[in-house]
Amino acid sequence: MKYLLLLLFSLPLTAQVKESQGGGIKDIGRIPNEPPLYIIDGKKITKLSLNFKKLRPKDIAEILVLFREEAKNLFGSSAKYGAVYIITKDTFRKAKALANNPPNRELNKEEQLYAEIWEFYQTYRLIVVSGKVTDKEGKPLANIRVYNKDRNTETYTDSLGNYTIKADRWDMLMVHCCASCKMITDEEKEQEINFEGSFEGTYKEAEEAHRKEMIKRIPLRAIAQISEDYCATPLFVLDGMPMDKKEFREKTSRQKISKEIHYLTPAAATAIYGSGAINGVLVAVTEKAKKKYDKRQARKAQKKQ
């Protein structure tokens, strides 16, 4: 019989993954040997007792991984290397039943534990957000990038403009090429968020701007000379993500850029990014993002054949 001990001892690798500023996974970096705190059914488990706590995969309902800062704030210094919160199916079933049918009396000690477990699960689980992206006329838009800024994850709309993405409560969802399309997930349950009628400019206008040579190439070192004046500073975009000048410089210096950084003049920039790009846009694409794009294009080409 296969037990979950191997999985539990491999989870420190997951818990030590570094987080990006947006809250998503950024890179693995150096993985120390310190294990995270393990919590099974609301009870802290020491590394020694894990040898005797045999868990089979089929007995587990949920595994929630919390990174260092968040884990330490919740569980104290014992979780300074992260935390792995495991809920077994039996406990999950009892906690859910208690939440759906609370008794008309004071909860006993066991019921209080189930209530705490259910509250923790509802607070820290990922929810599924779905919706539709349409233009100002209500027509669905396909292949539009919808991304979770806080978790650094993304998805694309289908042929009917529909999308589905996972998010945590208070995560910000944004739509590429739509300066005003921002929504915060404000509930702890599955929900629907539609982005409608906020797109500015068209790709046709952008192509026209490109034809008139409104897009110029600039060297990386030229970024340092750009004015810090808010009224004159262009919009910075890396892999479709708007950011400030400081973050743009830091990320472009660390990551390999696929091609030269391009400057879009105000006429071309506003056609694509709207009024937020009135001072132009500096656009860069990393090699990693370019490879993903090429793969998607290749898959599309295969489907057409």
Give the predicted TM-score (pTM) of the model.
Answer: 0.45
Report yes or no on 289 lying in a domain: yes
Question: Does the pLDDT at position 160 exceed 80?
Answer: yes
pLDDT for position 263 = 72
Together in a domain, 14 and 97: yes
CA 263 to CA 236: how far, in whole Å? 9
Q: Is residue 197 part of a domain?
A: no
Which of 157, 192, 227 is the endpoint of a domain? 192
Same domain, 133 and 114: no
Q: Give domain status of residue 198, yes or no.
A: no
Q: Which of 87, 91, 90 is nearest to 39 (CA)?
A: 87
End residue of a domain, out of 64, 92, 124: 124
The residue segments making up the domain with residue 91 are 5-124
Query: How far apart are alpha carbons 38 and 46 in whole angstroms?
Result: 7
**Token pair 């040579």 is at which residue?**
213
pLDDT confidence of residue 33: 62
Amino acid 257 reads: I
Say yes or no: 171 and 182 in one domain. yes
Residues 261 and 238 in one domain: yes
Same domain (yes/no): 208, 157: no
Q: Are residues 178 and 109 both part of a single domain? A: no
Kindly state the DSSP code that residue 185 receives in the 8-state scheme.
Answer: -
Residue 299 counted as domain residue: yes
**Residue 281 included in any domain:** yes
Assess whether 154 and 49 both reside in one domain: no
User: Using 50, 70 and 90 to split pLDDT, how confident is the model at 177?
Assistant: low
Number of domains in the chain: 3
| Percent with pLDDT over 90 in the chain | 14
Do 15 and 61 reside in the same domain of the chain? yes
CA dihedral (227, 228, 230, 235) positive or negative:
positive
Same domain for 209 and 138: no
Closest by CA to 282, choosing from 222, 230, 228, is 222
Mean pLDDT, residues 16-36 taken together:
45
Domain boundary among 192, 215, 242: 192
3-state SS, residue 276 = helix
**What is the average pLDDT across 224-241?**
60
Based on the fold, state whether residues 17 and 54 are members of the same structural domain: yes
Instruction: Please list the alpha-helical segments (H only) found in 101-228.
Output: 109-124, 203-211
| Residue appearing with tokens 């001072």 | 279
Query: CB atoms < 10 A from the CB of 256, how many?
Result: 9
**Same domain? 117 vs 135:** no
134 with 115, same domain: the answer is no
Q: Which backbone phi and psi does 34 adopt, to 5 degrees?
A: -65, 130
